[in-house]
Amino acid sequence: MCGIIGCVGREDETLDVLVHGLSKLEYRGYDSAGVALSGDRVDVCKKSGKIADLRGALESREIGGAAGIGHTRWSTHGPPTDANAHPHLDCTGDVAVVHNGIIENYQSLRDELVSAGHSFQSDTDTEVVPHLIEDALADGADHEAAVREAIAQLEGSYAVAVVLSGDDTIYAARNDSPLVLGLGEDAYYLASDVPAFRDHTDQVIYLADGEFATLHADGWHVSDVDGDEVEKTVDTVEWDPEETGKSGYDHFMLKEIHEQPRAIRQCLRGRVDELTGSVDIGDLGDLSPTGVQFVACGTSYHAALYGAQLLRDAGIPAQTFLASEYATAPPPIGDALVVGVTQSGETADTLSALREARKRGARTMTVTNTVGSTAARECDHALYIRAGPEIGVAASKTFASQLTALNLFSLGTTRTSDSREIIGALRDLPSNIQAILDESNAEAVAETYVDSGAYFFIGRGLQYPVALEGALKMKEITYKHAEGFAAGELKHGPLALVTDDTPVFAVVTGDGEMARKTIGNVKEVEARDAPVVAVTDGQSDVERYADAVLEVPETHPQAAAMLANVQLQLVSYHVADKLGRSIDKPRNLAKSVTVE
């Protein structure tokens, strides 16, 4: 949610860098955008709507400055209006602030400031910050001290960036909301995520909670809440800036679906030995958990359900909890491990659940895509999925990489008789997915059912999380009603909703007992005239009961679920495309949910 960009040292190019950086952050979700540049004065331009609207407003303005900050806002306090867009100013117009997160004590601070004579122009919680800085300056504090004094009064989650008139410095601080510095040859950058400045540098520093940064044309400095210098490690971003482009695809999501073979290869590289049937997952050590609790949200929750099933099948007790509900979950038992699955490593609910687990004395691990993220820093262990940047709001390749990483986690902490077979199936995943991408008839299926009133997705065992994810994709990008069910639950209520206008996507792979039972469920909906789309490897005879078939290659059951997922992604994509939806930036959704 929301995006921050800052730049200092680019002289006349600052504005262009800011606007370009904001365009790279559109995937996070937003409903307004703005910039502020500081020189002899602070110039601000902000607009509700899209970045194109901001560009239009800037055409009639002449603004400039040596240091600048920009922001894309996701509305929390107040509707998306020009006044509520960031940056926000103090009464004098000399202080401009952008902010991600939620300031929990903003109302009491605002009441005090209004009583002291301050005038507010917006409904936002953010606007208290420039006024707090204004008061500190009036009391004689220098710029840095004034910003620090204001930050010290905030409660809640925040990533804050500040510029002031007559000052070519950007001041920034974070608490429970990500900020990363970019170190260029002759300029310095600040952002909520690396893609905002990756075109300019691959050298980055990830700020930790409680840290305070200053950036100016001559360098940068990071300190703690007491002002003491903090030594920071400079990391190199491995992925190329070209990876954040569409590469000729109509949408980022379609590009990222097609990147799944490469993403899985990256996840597997150097971690599996097919000859010995062994897995090496880096420096995780010998975890040997007596039990595992997974915590996650959204798509990552579906990945966690899949991971828990893998561990249970291997004899390790495992549970999955929605991170937002973990506070009421039973405490970890014995030497249990709590695993937070989070693509960004910054998901607020998941971070809160992991912190609760640590309070309960549990060891923690994160499965994440983001090196240097809060989850990676705070957990005892981190397993990186190596998917590369994902721009589309609806997760695609990161889900595939999460499932791959969770297979590695299961193989690395347990031993089963078919480990070597599973590793072989994982090795074949990229080529099998590529075969689906090359041959899928998902677009034709989408054309047939694009006008349906609702969509059901069913599966059993490892196919159940895939059914849930298929339904979520359909909801996210088509805005159509879709539900995923464990196949056996259809007759316990949802069957009442099945009509001839409700296509049922049935994931049926293999020819074992679960496949046979799911075919029984398929017959139930067929008897009620519902169209059936079978996602199958052809080992069962489900095709004879289906109106359409989406084929997947025959493989090990653990990999079969991952192949079925690709077909469901393609169906949702093509339905959304035919409906003319905003596929990469669905309404009301954000890529990274950094507030609870």
User: Measured at the alpha carbon of residue 323, what is the angle toward residues 108 and 224, in degrees to the nearest 5?
Assistant: 50
Backbone phi, then psi, for 228, in 5-degree steps?
A: -80, 140
Residue 510 is given by DSSP the state S
Directed axis angle between helix 557-579 and helix 442-449, to 10°?
A: 50
The single-letter code of the amino acid at 141 is A
Is residue 386 within 8 A of residue 370, CB to CB? The reply is no
Tokens of 544: 């004879």
Residue labelled with tokens 């025959």:
554
Tokens of 520: 């029984």
Tokens of 159: 């990533």
Is residue 577 within 8 A of residue 447, CB to CB? The reply is no
Q: What residues are annotated to the active site?
A: 2, 591
Q: How far is CA 323 from CA 353, 395, 547, in A?
A: 6, 18, 38
Tokens of 317: 């007790």
Q: Which residues contact 492 (CB under 8 A, 6 or more apart)?
A: none
The H or E element spanning position 415 is: none
Q: Which residues contact 378 (CB under 8 A, 6 or more apart)?
A: 351, 354, 355, 358, 364
Residue labelled with tokens 């601000």:
44
Q: Which residues contact 270 (CB under 8 A, 6 or more apart)?
A: 280
User: What is the Cα–Cα distance from 385 to 316, expressed in whole angstroms?
Assistant: 22
User: What is the Cα–Cα distance from 460 to 271, expressed in whole angstroms?
Assistant: 29
Q: Is 158 exposed, middle or buried, given 0-12, 13-18 or 19+ CB atoms closer than 10 A?
A: buried
The H or E element spanning position 212 is: strand 212-216
Q: How far is CA 117 from CA 91, 148, 165, 185, 419, in A?
A: 10, 22, 22, 44, 70
Give which of 268, 266, 262, 321 is closest to 291, Cα–Cα: 321
